[in-house]
Each structure stands twice: as structure tokens, then as C-alpha cells.
Structure 1
Amino acid sequence: MLKKYVARLEDPNSALLGPTLWGLQSWGMWQPNSGLSRIIYNLIHLAAILFLVSQYVGLWFIRADLNIALRNLSFTMLSMVCVVKACTFVVWQTYWRDVIQFVATLERSQLQRKDKTTSTIIEGYTKYSRNVTCFYWGLVTATVFTMILAPLGDFLSSSEQRELMMNGTIPFPQIMSSWVPFDKTKGFGYWFQIVEHSLIGFYGGGIVASYDANTVALMSFFCGQLEILVANSKRLFSEDGNPVSYSEAMERIKQCHMHHLSLIKYSKILNSLLSPVMFLYVVICSLMICASAILLTKEGTTTMQRMSVAEYLAALIAQLFLYCWHSNEVYFMSKSVDRGIYESEWWRCGVGLRRCVVLLGGQLRKTIIFEAGPFTNLTVATFVAILKGSYSYYTLLSNNEG
């Protein structure tokens, strides 16, 4: 069902990014240059920033209750990541447009040539990106609904607690913790916060789903384009077993060189956009995984709360894994892209062409790697290190508590 819905979001001008661009536009990150809609979108982002501030204020008031504080700390940190993703995308939108325009233009020009190998590779990574987008959007949707419905589950799970809530002995459960200048434990104040937190949940879920799916699609694009470059390098001096002319071989070498230069250029732009955000996310993710693990094993946590935290933890790890895995794929593909030259029929060409092949080989040895700030790269090894670090923090805190 979700795949059919995503299929309706295809954009003829962008074979790869149609659904993700729709998501970015719907949640106010892909904005028009001017107009009322731009003002409304930015007011929504401003409201999210103010809500984040109220979450930190709310954390101060509940700091004595470790269970509630840890649970809300995880939501607060995730809210910070959402706000940073939305704000940086809006502020750096000019650079995002450059990268997205490059992707759309390059794919259109490649598809117009009607080369079977190129078209097959583009179709392959586009289909893969659609599957990842559907999976990830479904995961984020499930996480948002689990978070919103968790208080209802707490209310219905225990008749004893339900009676205490109805008698006013204990407060009704809340989705998140945030400060408001009125009583939020009952009546209008309680329902106001339920509606507010639900809207914020959908806002944050949309931001995360759109931003991450778009980024993963772009990483898949670079990986697929490097694969196209390998295929084109193999055909530098022959086509279907027949040697090509000197001028045609020179033109193919030139095209491969320019193709790789453009991929290096725009991957660096994308990395500069992602690196600060991912640095913040990697640091926060370690803390959130640790906090979630403590909540899962801590006494006094209800079954419904454990289910909610477990689903939240799974989504958190999946989100980090998507970034690290696809960045890792791009890196290792870029390390092996020069193999296409050595699999070509370079030995048939003259000395002049061989010199050009050596220069092309030097260009193709440049690698593409996405970073999380100046300290680490986004790779599978980094993902494993984060999980190990989080487990170490969890063990340390658990031993101290005991």
C-alpha cells in the first residue's frame, strides 16, 4: 500500500528524488524563494524551536524522577536533531538545490542517451531507493504513533492506576514533557498538551523521514554513478568487442574524467551539508541509546513503556545504520572505481592514449567519504563503535546505580 502511494509522488524531472522532494516540500524544508507559504513554513519551524526550549525547561522540573527524566531526555534530544535538520536545510537550501539539480540534470542526460547498461544501473538504484524510502517512512510512522499512543496504553494497561488517575491521586500520563505557564495535569491544560505534543510528533517524524530518505537516496545516487563510471571505463577502447577510433577513445576518457570530477565536487558539497548535522546526531545517538537501554531494564518501568522505548530504540539504531551503511557503500565503491580501466582493452591503444589512461587512473583513485564532523567517518565500523560505546556507558551507569 505504501509503495503504491509513493509511486504517485514520482517527478518526471527527477527520476530518483520525486518522493523525497515531495516530503521535503510538505514539511517546509524545500521552500519557494518567496511568498506566504515560505513565511508560514518558517513560523512552524520557529514554533518547533520554542517547543524545544520548553522541553529543556520541563526537564529541569522533572529532574528528580529518573525514569521520567530519562524518557523525556531521549525525546528532547531527538527533537533537537529534528530542529537542527530542518533549520540547516532551510538556511543552506541554496547548496541543497545545487546538489539536487545536479542529480536531476545528470540522470536526465544519461537516460536520453538510451545506453542499456547505464539505464539498467539507474533503474536499479532508483528502485532500491524507493524500497528504502518505503521501509523508512513506515518505520518512522510506526514510531510516531507508538510515541503518541503510549499514554493511552499506560492508562488502559492497569485498572488500579486508572482509578488513581481518575481520582487525581497521580497525574495522567503525557507524551512528552514541556513547560507551559498553566496546569497541564488536568482539564484544558492536559488536552492542550496532548494535542500540542501530537502535532510536534508528526512534525518531527515528517522532518526525520523526509531528510533521511532524501540523504540516503543521494548516497545511493553517488554509489550508482560510480558503478556507471566503472562500466564506462571498461568500454574506453572498445564497444561490443570492436575497437573504437582514437578520437572516440579520447572523448570517452574525457567524459569519464569530467564525470568523476563532478561526482567529487558535489559529494564534497553534500558532505559539508551533512557533516555538522551528523556529528551532533552521532554524539546524541550514543546518549539516547544508553538512556533507552537503562529505561528498558530499570525497575518500575511499565510494560507499555518498555514496548514504546524498545520501538523507539529500534528506530534510532535503524536510522544510524542507514547513514553508516550507505556512506560505507559509497566509500568502498569509490576505492574500487579505477578497476574499470584495468579491465578495459588499454593494451590495444598507443603510447599517447596510455598516458591519458594513467592520468585518468590517478583521478579515479580519489575517494568519496561522508563524515560526522572532523572526528569520524560514517562507516559500518563507526556504527559498531557507537553501539559499543553506548553499551559501555550503560554498563558504567548501571554499576554506579547498583
Structure 2
Amino acid sequence: MELKDEWIQEDEVYDNPLLKWTLNGLRYFGILLYKSQPWKKLNCFRGVCFTASMLLFNITQYVDLYQVWGNVGDMTANASTTLLFSTTIIRLFHFYWNRTRFNSVIRRADEGTRQILRQANAEEMLIFTGNVKYIKRLTALFWICALVTANSMCLFTLIQFFSASTKDSDRVTILRSWYPAENGMDHFASVYCIQLYIMYVGQLIVPCWHVFMVSLMIYVRMALMVLNHRLENMRGSSLKELSNMDEKRQILLKDGIVECIQMQRELYEYARELEALLKGAVFMDFVVFSVLLCALLFEASVTNSTVQVFIDICYITTMTAILFLYYWHANEIHYQANLLSMSAFKSNWHSYPHSLKRCLLTFICYSIKPLTLKAFFVPMSLDTFIAILRASYSYFTILKQATN
């Protein structure tokens, strides 16, 4: 296995306060490597093994889905995990295929963050630390949600197996295509160990991956917030002092405007590259998650088990949170980008020399163009998020009426 230099991150990237909370999980999974890391090929091999085991399990679930085709209850119970793993596996293969581009956006986010910190004043440091605290809370909440969901499923399988009121044929809930025997007790130990392993891999990569991508979006939002602050607080001299403004002060003011223009251009280019890496997966979620949420709602409505209802609620919460994270932060990027022209207008532009006014006017004209992230033709906004939830509920009501 050959490891190219562009696949390996600098050690400093993992010390970035805005990124380290998500990169360490991907590094443990084995799809991100750093320069001083020992046994790089072995760690990369671990990531390949995790991915291959998820793929094998997912194929098994599709075989199981084919076997229970026509039984709506079993189909919806199967679909929730099958679709989630399918989207995760596609994301992993997309990362392997575009590893150089993903590593490039990580490096650019790290370099941009460090450049902001070198030039930041006290108020801009508050913006940065606020975003760092935000990503910490977000990571913790999403991990808790994912861990509760996955471990509840494993615990429920164990309770179901030892329950005296549960039939033997109902106790084995996965790998029926591997162990088609009528008596599930014969192979429960091996099946349960496989389930624990798969859930361990799944609950490791799902929250790590989604929070990782969202952290890159949060970097864009944070940088736009800093840029808005710099524009709004850029001050020239008063009109009375305009004629006496020394050349050195004009040069410093012009350099500040030019730096803002360059920062805006780099952020827009970065956002477009991030959009190119996101759009396929987000569009897949747009298509798949409506069906997934519908399946979970239906399963929760037909089960008689309180524990299963709790698991379904946790699962629905996790899936909804994944969608919300992407669409909310894409909406935040759009909002902060729209503020740039107003922030520039709020500066003391009327006291600038004519040459600086022209520079600022060019910046405002360019900022009027909205920065909207799209999943191909689907805009990533809160309106789209609400539309997905509405579609899921519509599918659920149709399915419920059809089964009744």
C-alpha cells in the first residue's frame, strides 16, 4: 500500500482548536494520517478493514431485505440501519477517491485559522473562542446521541434474547442470511459479537464523519464573522481631516481593504471547493433520508415494545440531527456572506479618499452575489430541511394508510 505525501497531514493540524475535536476520531478510524504517526501503513490498513467490514455487513442487510420483501414491518426495521450504512460507506469511498482534495481543504482551514489568530484583536478572539466552544458542545451532543442509539440497540437485542416471553425465532435480529436456522439460540453468541463489532465501527465513523464535515463549514462561518467584524470596524479619518490624511495612513487603510478583499475571495473559493466535496453526499441524503425517517416512524408506530419505541426515537433524533447540521450551517454561511456588503457600508467609508471608495465599492458589488451552497440543484437551506421532514411525514401517512 503506497502512501503519498499529499495524503499525510502536518502534526500541527491536529492541534488546531477548531478541528482537533473531529480529526482525532478520523485518525483513530484510520483514514487520516499525520507525519509523526508510527506504523502509518498499519493504521491505513485498519481503516480499510473497518470499511470492508461495514461493506460486507451492508451487503448482508440487502440480502436480508430481499428475503423479507413484502413484509412491511421487517422491511422498515431493516431499512433504517441499511440505508444509514449505505450512505456512510459511499462517503468513505468518496473520501478514499478524493483523499488529496479532502486533505487540502483541511490544510487550508488550518492555515486560514492560524492567519486569523495572528491578526486577531480581542473582539475577534472572542468570535473564535465562541466558535471553538460551539464545536465542542456540538460534538459532545451528537456523540451522546449516536452512542445512546447504537448501544440501546445492542442492549435491546440482549434483553430480547433472554426474555422468556420472546420466541426463539424472533431473538436473532441480524445476519439472518448467514444463519437461516429457525432456532436463533444456536448461533446467538457469534451473531451478537458481530453486531457489537459492527455497531462499534458504525458509532465510531458516523458521528466522526458528520462532525468533521460540519467543522469545515463552521470554519467558513467563523472566518466570515471575523471578516464582517473587520469591515464594520474599519475606520478612516473624519471629513475635516481628510485633506490632511498622511500618505502612510492612506496606505495602511488601503492595505486593510485589500486584505479583506483577498480574504473574501479565498473564503468563497474554499466554500465552492467544500460544496464540490459535499454535494454528492448531501444530495444522497436528500433522496434517502426521507425514506429512512419514514421507515423509523412506521416502525415506532407498529411496535409494542417501549424499548423499541425509545430506540426509534433516538434513531430519528440522530438522523434529523445529521440533516439539520448540514442545512443549518449552510444557511449560516449564506447569512454571514450576505452581511458582508452591509458591514462594509457600516464602516466610515464617507471619510475615505476616492481611490479607497472605489475599492470598497468593488468589494460591495462582489459581495451582493449570494454565497449559497447547493447539493447539485438542491439549495442547502432550512427551507429544504423542512421540506425533507414534510416529505417523510407524508410518506409515513401513506404507508400507514396502505398497511391498514
The two structures have a TM-score, normalised by structure 2, of: 0.88
Deviation at 1:187, TM superposition (A): 5.2
- How far residue 26 of structure 1 moved from its aligned partner, in angstroms, is 1.1
Letter in 2 for 1:192: S
- 1:336 corresponds, among 326, 336, 339, to 339
| Alpha-carbon distance change, 301 to 107 in structure 1, aligned in 2, over 3 angstroms | same
1:354 maps to 2:357? yes
> In structure 2, what residue type is equivalent to 1:392?
S
1:234 paired to 2:238: no
Q: Does 1:66 align with 2:72?
A: yes
CA contact (8 A) 1:171 1:185 kept: no
Change (3 A) 1:239 1:154: farther
1:160 lines up with 2:159 in the alignment: no
1:35 is matched with 41
Amino acid across the alignment from 2:23: L
The residue aligned with 1:141 is: 147
Q: CA deviation at 1:185?
A: 4.7
C-alpha contact 1:222 1:263 (8 A) present in aligned 2: yes
1:261 counterpart letter in structure 2: R
Q: CA deviation at 1:139?
A: 0.9
The 5 A counterparts of 1:1-400 are 13-31=15-33, 35-155=41-161, 159-161=164-166, 164-165=167-168, 170-174=169-173, 176-177=174-175, 179-180=177-178, 183=181, 185-186=183-184, 189-238=187-236, 245-298=249-302, 301-372=304-375, 374-400=376-402
Cα distance between partner residues in 2 of 1:155 and 1:178: 15
Distance 1:239 1:177, change over 3 A: farther
Give the residue type in structure 2 aligned to 1:149.
L
**Secondary structure class of the residue paired with 1:337:** helix
Which sections of structure 1, spanning at least 5 residues, go unmatched? 1-9
Q: Can you give the 5+ residue segments of structure 2 that lack an aligned partner in the other structure?
A: 1-11
Aligned partners of 1:114, 1:352: CA distance in 2, in Å?
26
SS at structure 2 position matched to 1:336: helix
Amino acid of the residue matched to residue 64 of structure 2?
G
The answer on whether the counterparts of 1:253 and 1:357 sit within 8 Å (CA) in structure 2 is yes
How far did 1:315 drift?
Answer: 1.4
Read off the aligned partner of 1:275 and give its amino acid letter: K
Distance 2:62 2:186 in 1: 22
Query: Partners in 1 of 2:228 and 2:297 — Cα distance?
Result: 44
Equivalent position SS for 2:16: coil
Alignment TM-score, normalising by the size of structure 1: 0.88
Q: Please report how far the alpha carbon of residue 181 of structure 1 lies from its aligned counterpart in structure 2 after TM superposition.
A: 6.4
For residues 44 and 239 of structure 1, the distance between their equivalents in structure 2, rounded to whole angstroms, comes to: 61
Amino acid at match of 1:173: V
Runs of 4+ residues deviating >6 angstroms: none
Distance 2:93 2:25 in 1: 15
**Count of residues in Structure 1 that have an aligned counterpart in Structure 2:** 383
Identity in percent: 23
**Aligned counterpart, 2:7:** none
Residues 12 and 84 from structure 1, CA distance in 2 versus in 1: closer, same or farther, beyond 3 angstroms? Answer: closer
Amino acid at match of 1:172: R
Equivalent position SS for 2:30:
coil
Pairwise CA RMSD: 2.5
* Cα displacement string for residues 203-229 of structure 1 (whole angstroms, at most 9, x for unaligned residues): 112111111111222222111111111
3-state SS, counterpart of residue 160 of structure 1: coil
Q: Which amino acid aligns with 1:220?
A: I
Structure 2 counterpart of 1:279, one-letter code: F
Partner SS state of residue 257, structure 1 = helix
Deviation string, structure 1 residues 11-59 (Cα, Å, up to 9, x no partner): 7741210110001111222246962322332132122212211110111
Equivalent AA in structure 1 for residue 138 of structure 2: V
Q: Distance in 2 between matches of 1:314 and 1:234?
A: 39
Residue matched to 1:7: none
Q: Distance in 2 between matches of 1:133 and 1:39?
A: 26
